[in-house]
Amino acid sequence: MLIDIQAKIAEGKGIGYEKWARIFNVKQSAKTLMFLKENSIDNYEELEQKSDFVSAEFAELSDKIKAIDLRLKEIAELQKYIGQYGKTRDIFQKYKASGWDNNFYEEHRADITLHRAAKKYFDALDMSQFPKMAELKQEYAKLLSEKKKLYSGYHELKEKRKDLLTAKSNCATILGIKNDASERDNSERKTR
C-alpha cells in the first residue's frame, strides 16, 4: 500500500520519515507495475474485473469452508449426544423402573442429568431415530477430506486476492482515481 506522505507530514513526522516514505512508495509502485506486467493486466478496468472475480471466488470458497465447518460441528455434537445417551440409557431405565426414587436419583444424578440433556437435545432436533455412528464418522471423514482439498486452494486464492486488491489500491492512488470500491477494498483488507 502506498503511504500518503502529506498526511504523515501533517501528523508531525520528520524529514527522515518523508524520505523513507518516498523510497517506499517508489518501491511499491515498481512492485505494482511488475505485478501488472507479470499478470498481463493492461488497464485499470481489467484490474478491477480480475480483482472482483477473484474476490467473488474467494468469498464463495470461504462460504463453502464455513458450511463444511458448521456441518462438522453438528456431526461432532450429534456424536457426543448419541454416545452420552447410549451410555446413560440403562441407568435412566432403572431410575424409571424404580418409580423415580429419590435415593436412586441422588446416587446416579450425573448420569441421569446427562441422559436428560441428551434427550432434550434430540427433542430440540425433533429426532425420533438416531443416525448410525458409522455413517456419521464416514460423513465426518468425507467432509474433513473435502475441507482439506478446499484449503489447498484457499490460501493460494487468498494471496492472489490480496495482491490484486493491493495493486488495485496502488493504481487508484497513482492514477488519482477516487471511488467507493477502492475505499471499500482498503477497509476490507484492514479488517482481515
> pLDDT of 105-128, one tens digit each?
999 999 999 999 999 998 898 887
Residue 117 has what pLDDT? 93
What's the rounded Cα separation, in Å, for the pair 160 and 37? 15
Per the prediction, the chain carries an average pLDDT of 86
**pTM of the entire structure?**
0.70
DSSP reduced 3-state for 192: coil
Domain limits, the chain: 1-38, 42-191
**Contact between residue 115 and residue 92 where contact means Cβ atoms under 8 Å apart:** yes
With 60 as the cut, is the pLDDT of residue 189 above it?
Answer: no
pLDDT score for 187: 46
Is residue 73 within a helix (H) or strand (E), and if so which, with residue range?
helix 44-97
Q: Is the pLDDT of residue 5 over 90?
A: no
pLDDT tens digits for range 61-76? 999 999 999 999 999 9
Task: Work out the average pLDDT over 144-172.
Answer: 91
Mean pLDDT, to the nearest integer, of 15-24?
Answer: 81
